[in-house]
Chain A
Amino acid sequence: MTTVVTDNCLKCKFTECVSSCPVSAFRAGEDMLFIDPDVCIDCGACISKCPVKAIYEDLDLPDEMTHWVDINANESKKWPKITLKQLPFEGANDRKVALGF
């Protein structure tokens, strides 16, 4: 069981979530964040922090998004740990509006 970041994070990277993680499971990919499933303890503290609702617990994932489980598992191994909030991408706020949030 784990928590996963999905495509709403792409090009946003608000990073509101990272400081809420008690075990530092977030990894900073180039375009988005990922969660390392071997570190995540499934507490869900990050889920409500995301302004674009990109984070799901795996058992709540809509069917069309289940591939994000593997993507997080693989990509999280390639990128560095992120524990402090950073500036979002330029245009992230526009994208947030476009996503309906």
Chain B
Amino acid sequence: MNFSVEDGVLTSVTGNPQHPITRGGLCVKLKDFAKHHYNPDRILYPQRRVGPKGSGQYERISWEEALQEISSKWNSIIDDYGSQAILNCCYLGNQGVINGLTSGDAFFNRLGATVSEKTFCASGSSTGYVMTIGPTGGVDPESFLYSKLIVIWGQNTMSTNLHQWPIYQEARAKGAKIVVIDPQRTRTAKEADVHIRLKPGTDAAFALGVMYVLITENLVDQDYIDKYTHGYEELKNRVINDYGVDRVAEITGLTVQEIQNFAREYATTQPCVIRMGVAPERNRNGGQSIRAICSLPALVGAWRHVGGGLLEMPLWEFPLKYEEMCRPDFIKPGTRVANITQLGKVLEEFQYPQIKSLFVNNSNPVSQAGYSSKLESQLKKEDLFLVVSEHFITDTAKYADVLLPATMQAEQLEVMLAWGHFYLTYNEKAIEPPGECVSNSELFRRLAKAMGFNDSYWDRTDYEMLDDFIDWSSPRLEGWNMERLREVGYVSLAGATPDKRLPHAEGNFPTPTGKCEFLTTQADKGNFVVPVWRSMYEGMQTGEPIDPLPEWLPMRESPTSNPELAKKYPLNIVTPKAHAFLNSQYANEKNQQQRQGEQTVTIHPQDAEARGIVAGQLVRVFNDRGSFKGKAKLSDDTLPGLVVAILGYWHEHNHGSSVNSISSNEFSNLGHAPSFSDNLVQVELAV
């Protein structure tokens, strides 16, 4: 991004025209990003609650008073209940090396807090992916230019991965075909050559059915399988015995021909590449869906070709010293773990000690965690000391006892990771923070001092921390250092140019066997969350038994798998990401609200008719967990039996609730990913 500053004021934020990914354009979410920094509702000073919890009544206090209040409260909680009565809830509201996911890990580990497991997004994928092909970046997004078949699996690229779309267009101009696999007819699906509309939660069954066709029609690359994969015979038996194409057609709602056609085209159109989104992980069987999808490229030898294989997690290309960032060595063995996607449940059920203080930064769990109605009732408890570091008084922050003012991106130095490309990017601080806002790095420096921590960890400047946390000895960064990164702005971590990069043409998978593991060799330790999502803590993994081969299990909540529940709540629901918001960020901006439009509930015309619902009417979506309202939109862009409502609307702008009020806080079968797309609801006219 290019920040333009005049007289100390940020006047515009644009893409860098020279950058190979943004090509000068930012996504819709960052329109008016400069103005966002000057939103009059920003929290500019520390504040203390003066009204009842949730009333939003605060008085300004100094940083000194805020730190004094927090440290004295924490010290007394530690004396009375032990340090594990304190919990951090942090996610990726800021992304980056020192202000992002792991920004508070070292501090809370040093404090002895309950370790926070942060699995909102891509943790199920991480576990499934790592168990199958290992922590590899996979196909460079820029190598898609050389692909002939691009399979977008569970992602609405034009809304959530916009910068990839021009690359697809270029590939298409050279003859590539685009297939979208998604229950919804999204704006991306509308632009595809082929749209495969499977029922939600059936991705694994579809992938296994595709394997059945590949195997029975001898479309596999046996040489690649023999040399570079592990457990093919076991997978083959599973597929032949359990995933015949007729059964898979019945499960997925697709025709046998659709499955066969896709499989044949996938095997014979090389290079073929899969761009996997996060959606397939968001149901009970999510982790195994990822395992099944990650297995496909090796079966057809797609990895042999430039632009062939799979992409989901560029994260694994970024050479960072996570151990030094998170300091898991501070954690006392046996320290317990709390999964913050289940925050309401954690606050309600954890005992000995109960959670007595919650510190929220980089996140808005009332909007983003499952079963938010339960979470809200817990946040109202008088004996929970809640501190929130935020830009605005969000649906979570309004329950805070102490509010701390946080910086935005132009106000802080940072080095950025990416989810959609392989560039490590320097983010220069462009303007002074307004009021008394501080970056997360500075926030934890101040808290460390207030708690009397003398460790040198918090004696460093931001620049020094970044320099220490980036692994400059990585071959990918040969010849680079902080100074050069600062000067140039970004560096590719791909290791080869997009026309040459072949990460797994000869196996070389970072798994225990070095092969693509259809049959995982990691099953003996049971289910686990990849350590980066839990402060690099290796202890207290839950280790539930896992199937060592990819499998399909029906959803926890669906009319076929749970007919009792479906009598009351007959409709499944999915809650995709918005076009103009980034989760709940920017959803308080008037222009973004206009661009996104109000909360709608898309319902198939036949489901609407059965309920006497007419387009444009306000409807209520509900189950035993909660409810929210939205305007009915009748469209066959959704399937019969499935309603769609976008995530991210703030309660105050949305009839007092939003989509996660109805979602469960159950996990997918791998990596503790939340099952946001595995919920049944009923829809009725709102009164």
Name A residues whose Cβ lies closer than 8 Å to a Cβ of B.
Answer: 1, 20, 22-24, 39, 41-45, 48, 57, 59, 83
Contacts and interface: CB of A to CB of B under 8 A. Distances in A.
A54 B595 CA distance: 20
B594 A1 contact: yes
Interface stretch (B156-164, B275-283, B323-331, B409-417): B156-164
A36 to B, nearest CB: 12
Contacts of B595: 1, 42, 59
- Listed from nearest, the 6 A-B pairs whose CB atoms lie closest are A45-B25, A1-B595, A22-B166, A43-B28, A22-B165, A42-B28
Contact of B594 (A23, A59, A83): A59
Q: Which of A20, A41, A57 has the most CB of B within 10 A?
A: A41
Given A1-B597, A41-B162, A43-B162, A24 B169 contact: yes
Contact of B31 (A23, A39, A43): A43
A23 B14 CA distance: 18
A1 B595 CA distance: 5
A45 B26 CA distance: 7
Contacts of B169: 22-24, 83
A23 B158 contact: yes
A44 B31 CA distance: 8
Interface of B: 14-15, 23-28, 31, 158-159, 162-163, 165-166, 169, 187, 191, 579-580, 591, 594-595, 597
Nearest to B31: A44
26 contacts: A1-B594, A1-B595, A1-B597, A20-B23, A20-B24, A20-B25, A22-B158, A22-B165, A22-B169, A23-B165, A23-B169, A41-B28, A41-B187, A41-B579, A42-B28, A42-B579, A42-B595, A43-B25, A43-B26, A43-B31, A43-B162, A44-B25, A45-B24, A45-B26, A57-B31, A59-B595
A43 to B, nearest CB: 5
A82 B187 CA distance: 20
Contacts of A23: 158, 165, 169, 191
Contacts of B165: 22-23
Contacts of B163: 22
Q: Which of A20, A23, A39, A57 has the most CB of B within 10 A?
A: A23
Contacts of A1: 594-595, 597
A20 B24 CA distance: 8
A1 B594 CA distance: 7
Nearest to B14: A48
Nearest to A58: B594
B79 to A, nearest CB: 54
Contacts of A83: 169
A39 to B, nearest CB: 8
Given A22-B162, A23-B169, 17 more contacts: A1-B594, A20-B23, A20-B25, A22-B158, A23-B158, A23-B191, A39-B191, A41-B158, A41-B187, A42-B31, A42-B579, A43-B25, A43-B162, A44-B28, A44-B31, A59-B591, A59-B595
A44 B12 CA distance: 13
Q: Which of B28, B163, B595 has the most CB of A within 10 A?
A: B595
A41 B159 contact: yes
B66 to A, nearest CB: 39
A37 to B, nearest CB: 12
Contacts of B591: 59
Contacts of A41: 28, 158-159, 162, 187, 579
